Amino acid sequence: MADAPLPFYAADFTKPDGRALTLYGLRPIEVRGDVPSPAGDPPVPRPTMRWHPLRGEWVMYAAHRLGRTFLPPPEYNPLAPTTPEHPTELPQGNYDLAVFDNRFPSLTLDAPPPPHPAHPSERAGTGKCEVVVFSQDPVGRLADLSEAQTALLLAVWADRTARLAATGKIRSVLAFENRGVEVGVTLHHPHGQIYAYDHIPPVQARMLAGAQAHLEEQGRPWLADFVAAEREAGSRILRDEGEALSVVPPFARYTYETWVLPTRPVGQLSDLTGPERLAFARVLKDALTRLDALFGVRMPYLLTVHQAPVGGEAHPEFPLHIELYPYLRAPGRMKYLAGTEQGAGEFANDKFPEAAAAELRGLEVP
């Protein structure tokens, strides 16, 4: 079928230290040698959570993460294929992407209850943390993936979401990428992470509530009305591929904030058809390329993938989309979260979205 999701290959392994590894590819997976683990046993995680009664959110505590890898020397890249001299997380072989259990997780599916709770709301930090390695190229970018490889990444995010939902313990899955030391990256190899929660976090809960209210009031999904309005305005769209588009949203909080959306309202990446996934991949690749071309440097950013909650009733009204938060507001000038952002949760932006979109749209990109 032309509209069927694009096929991919996956192979599951267990590392010597017991953690799970899945390799993904556009062609059959080939592994040369043994599946490795870095030298030394991983810490025994005992994450806990405490409820913040005034903010209405959980706070994660994972003391074992203090010892996690931090800007290792160039000769030791734990995300590169392994060598005898430097055992890493990944094997030698032919594959495109890899996903493995985080060695220093903030949440685990088998987190034990706190033996001696120090706070009335303290409970086990139940969830899952995974690392997603985008490429075997240690100096590449997510934007350097081919269109097919970017579509594969979308399929991998969808596959991980389905697997995590199948555990019966997960309600929300967030895939994300932090890029650049400016945003706290400790490994330069192109990679992202997945956090799976046993509850719906505040941001996703507010998105769901807003989408439900819009559907009740207007009788249509929010995403459908948003796409129609942006197409009519025209001034904020960066690229429109028909089945997906990118836009500097009219309510952008960061100067060059960019959203990538399907144009058909769906709640999960797994709901996309094959053509929709390819269009989504083209638009995402284009958006990332524009951000790097803007100031001629690798733009530090946070990328977050927002999908509907899992593990309960379906929420097709939730708007699937990717948000890109670029951390440079001008050449060499960072966007710091200061008083109003941190203290009140309300952002101050230096530029109107229409002007930012015009700059991004006017760039010459491949």
Other residues' Cβ atoms within 10 Å of the Cβ of residue 28: 9
What's the rounded Cα separation, in Å, for the pair 190 and 135? 7
Cβ neighbours of residue 337 closer than 8 Å, sequence gap 6 or more: none
Greatest Cα pair distance, the chain, in angstroms, is 62
Residue ranges of E strands in 91-228: 92-94, 97-101, 123-124, 127-133, 172-179, 191-197
What's the rounded Cα separation, in Å, for the pair 325 and 259? 9
Residue 107 and residue 170 in contact, taking contact as beta carbons nearer than 8 Å: no
User: Facing residues of 133 across strands?
Assistant: 98, 191
- How far is Cα of residue 180 from the mean position of the Cα atoms in its chain? 15
What's at 309, amino acid-wise?
P
Look at phi and psi of residue 168 and say left if phi exceeds 0, alpha if psi is from -120 to 50, else beta.
left
**Residue 199, token pair as written in the block:** 């509850």
Burial 186-222 (b: 16+ CB within 10 A, else e): ebbbbbbbbbbbbbbbeebbebbeebeebbeeeeebb
Catalytic residues, which ones? 191
Cβ neighbours of residue 120 closer than 8 Å, sequence gap 6 or more: none
**Sheet containing strand 57-61, strands side by side:** 57-61, 48-52, 123-124
Q: What is the DSSP letter of 269?
A: G
**Residue 308, token pair as written in the block:** 């509907």
Other residues' Cβ atoms within 10 Å of the Cβ of residue 32: 9
